[in-house]
Structure 1
């Protein structure tokens, strides 16, 4: 969708053309001046949309996906907002005004020696999952955009690969067609709209039929978005598994 500046640029162009024909070709002058007014009107409407959007709250949840990290406390601008978040835990969505935030993640109950310290920019009207990923030797906080809106009567699903030692994978129906192809560590698929169903899925090494993880009994209800997250170690403990999250 074009923004206010795009429309203002168009309006300025048509204003120049209207001036060019003002005395030599009155009908062309009127034609381009009407276009100038049209795009001025579009710019005003775009400005109103952008102002409305800037006032919309944002929603942020935190996922602990670091298999060898302890439980953690999460601080937002030096205020603790989540306590004792264990591996595989995901918080409820926090409602936040748009803006820049400093996030610190500490071992639970300590408040010293951050595991992760990161500045994040939260845009208005967006829904985020912030995932702590990697291993304790190399930790990151990654933002993933959630899109909870679903066409009426449908379901939709995406996949996020958060296992630090697993290869790139395809996600497919058990023994059948591929749903998501070649998703590497820290990558997310796009959402896929589906008819509500229950289905058995599996993760396979990308481009092969070699299964690395069963994802059984995935129930997709109408009017709901879902995210499958692969986490844990492919070779070690805690072992590789899949979480089915709403959103």
Structure 2
């Protein structure tokens, strides 16, 4: 269960930026837009992430309003942006086409924060929205969750070095774990199959900083041999408590 978000201040909402993505080698890159929010309207904030490994370049609409300025490719996203509240129809189309690959309704609540993940292969395309609820981090802690966007990896668990128990024990495809508090330090990350115990993917020497909230995304295909859509990990920064 996700906790309810209460009393988001304008300062909090200005900090809702996806700052950095981490690729296969976990070297920092910058792929999400990073524009500051000058005036905070009463609305909801939504981050959109393209996790469908074989989808074409996409345009995204909320009702009739186009959301993205540039075509959205696999592993790319749109940082937290303000949306009108209420029932919103999200439509995903091939770039410069009006024909929908997927249309799905979501209800957005005032002063709430969400992540919208496009999931699965294009012939079974779907979108999953989760409410993003975290406690304000401080200099002595980071917060981390796992999102499972791999269609063929099955249920997974996440282990971190120097931790006796798994941070995430049994996460289904299309699901997000709760944000968990961690000591700021350098970790080795291991994602394993819950059913077989087999190691699926690892990442070494990943530094999690204090005052930050992160999402670790498992994406791609376990059975793929292509570098373009192989099983991999990607880290985004949801929030910095300045």
TM-score by length of 1: 0.73
Correspondence for 1:229: 217
Pick from 150, 159, 178: which aligns with 1:163?
Answer: 150
* Structure with higher RCO (Cα < 8 A, 6+ apart): 2
| Aligned counterpart in structure 1 of residue 117 of structure 2, from 108, 131, 137 | 131
Report deviation, 1:195. Answer: 1.3
Report the alpha carbon displacement of residue 110 of structure 1 after superposing the two structures with TM. Answer: 1.6
Residues 132, 140 of structure 1: 8 Å contact kept: yes
Matches within 5 A, 1:128-207: 128-147=114-133, 149-153=135-139, 154-174=141-161, 177=164, 178-206=166-194
| Counterpart contact for 1:182–1:207, Cα < 8 Å | no
* Larger displacement relative to structure 2 (92-101 or 72-81): 92-101
Q: Which consecutive segments of 4 or more residues in structure 1 shift more than 6 A?
A: none
Structure 1 gap segments, 5+ residues each: 1-48, 50-54
Conserved 8 A contact 1:202-1:214: yes
Q: Whole-Å Cα distance in 1 between the matches of residues 163 and 135 of structure 2?
A: 28
TM-score normalized with structure 2 length: 0.74
Q: Name which of 100, 105, 111 aligns with 1:119.
A: 105
User: Structure 1 CA distance, aligned partners of 2:44 and 2:204?
Assistant: 33
Q: In 1, distance between residues paired with 2:105 and 2:172?
A: 25
Which deviates more, 200-209 or 66-75?
200-209
CA spacing shift, 1:235–1:171, aligned 2, 3 Å:
same
Alpha-carbon shift at residue 176 of structure 1 (Å): 6.3
User: Which of 54, 73, 76 is matched with 2:62 structurally?
Assistant: 76
How far, CA to CA, are the matches of 1:222 and 1:208 in structure 2? Answer: 34
Q: Which runs of 5+ in 2 are unaligned?
A: 1-6, 8-40
Question: Is 201-210 or 188-197 further displaced after alignment?
Answer: 201-210
Say which structure is richer in helix.
1
- Give 2:28's aligned residue: none
| Aligned CA-pair RMSD | 1.9
Question: Could you say which residue in structure 2 is the equivalent of 1:108?
Answer: 95
- Secondary structure at the counterpart of residue 84 of structure 1: coil
- In 2, the alpha carbon distance for the partners of 1:114 and 1:233 equals 24
**Number of matched residues?**
193
